[in-house]
A and B are shown apart, each in its own frame.
Chain A
């Protein structure tokens, strides 16, 4: 009797090992790979470290971290189901973002719109490949090149794809310096790449800076009210930054809140990457489509830049169109480096920053329109 009891006790101790399947092991390795990318290679460490660790935790048999009452399930219910985490991150992003380069040259905002076209073209491709309507929306949104937007839309429409969509979005954003330059060179002539754009002169008053976030919020409320949680949060953060009278709140949003939520968000995204949900051909499809989305975004941004170059009589360097994809501030730096290779007198950085912040607004606006149209069609 005692012997049997000891044996069953030992068996429960070894349960984690005996119930470990090849799929679990593979997912734990994927978790370790994400940790390696974050720690060893410095690729999006703020996200890949918690995501990688969350992936390991959720794939340990009998750990029950994602079962009702488990700590990751509690975080998931609290921050993802309620959409709270991406919204809080957006307040932080708003408090970190300087929209001045965009305000200096508002026309550049159009590049931020063109840089989102890949979202919708990828959505069509996803439908063609047999993904459901709401899944296709969530895959297309990888093209927003904006992690919190992708997480917000996916947690709304296809929460079972949250892990793969988020990892794809953040991976490709970190690969922007590798993905974009060949597309930029392929779509522009050497003459276009040499176009010099001179420094941005300061022409925006403080009142304009303060009224801008209020104006954008009210405008979004009129055009696509479903996007107000995202745009409102982004603009609240920015208003706190530019108003200059709530520095403590702005700093807390940009630092403490953003850091805490990033940790919790990363862990919960990792927690959605259970072997049963993640290991399938559809995940590979999502990664392939995510790559296509960012490629198309870049191409459309550069082509729109060429159009603006034509209509302005060659005053705009089409390369800055590539920064319209959001992926702030990585793509602006890529544009600056690429332009500098061809013309040492060209100052593209601030113009590219303008397109880049325009891309941020563009990606949220595209998501807002998407949410509103889907609601209007009665699909969700």
Chain B
């Protein structure tokens, strides 16, 4: 029984925390990507 709850609580804590943390890091990476490759840079005419 104890083993069952250890499993459940481990998965709940790691699962919820891990999902939230992963997506937070991913959101930061997307923001960084947007800064690195802004929309304006694609609109500049060639030769400038």
Contact = CB atoms under 8 A, between A and B. Distances in A.
A103 interface: yes
A37 interface: no
Contacts of A116: 16, 19
A107 B28 CA distance: 8
B36 to A, nearest CB: 8
B34 interface: yes
A110 B20 contact: yes
A64 interface: no
Interface string B6-21: 0111111011101110
A120 B26 contact: no
A116 to B, nearest CB: 5
A342 interface: no
A316 interface: no
Interface in B1-48: 4-5, 7-12, 14-16, 18-20, 22-31, 33-34, 37-39, 41-42
A109 B29 contact: no
Contact of A123 (B11, B30, B37): B11
Contacts of A362: 19, 23
Interface string A358-379: 1001100110011001100101
Interface of A: 102-103, 106-110, 112-114, 116-117, 119-121, 123-124, 127, 133, 136-137, 202-208, 211-212, 215-216, 219, 223-224, 358, 361-362, 365-366, 369-370, 373-374, 377, 379
Nearest to B37: A207
Contacts of B7: 127, 133, 377, 379
A365 B39 contact: no
Contacts of B9: 124
Contacts of A110: 20, 23-24, 27
Given A123-B8, A377-B7, A219 B19 contact: no
30 contacts: A107-B27, A108-B27, A109-B24, A109-B27, A110-B24, A110-B27, A113-B19, A113-B20, A114-B20, A116-B19, A120-B16, A123-B8, A123-B11, A123-B12, A136-B8, A203-B38, A205-B41, A211-B37, A212-B30, A215-B26, A215-B30, A219-B26, A358-B23, A362-B19, A362-B23, A365-B22, A366-B15, A366-B19, A369-B22, A374-B11
Contact of A203 (B4, B14, B39): B39
B32 to A, nearest CB: 9
Nearest to B3: A133
A208 B26 contact: no
Contact of A208 (B10, B24, B37): B37
Nearest to B35: A208
A109 B15 contact: no
A369 B18 contact: yes
A212 B33 contact: yes
Contact of B11 (A120, A204, A206, A215): A120
Contacts of A212: 30, 33
A219 B12 contact: no
A271 B39 CA distance: 50
B11 A373 contact: yes
Nearest to B24: A110
A106 B31 CA distance: 7
Contacts of B11: 120, 123, 137, 370, 373-374
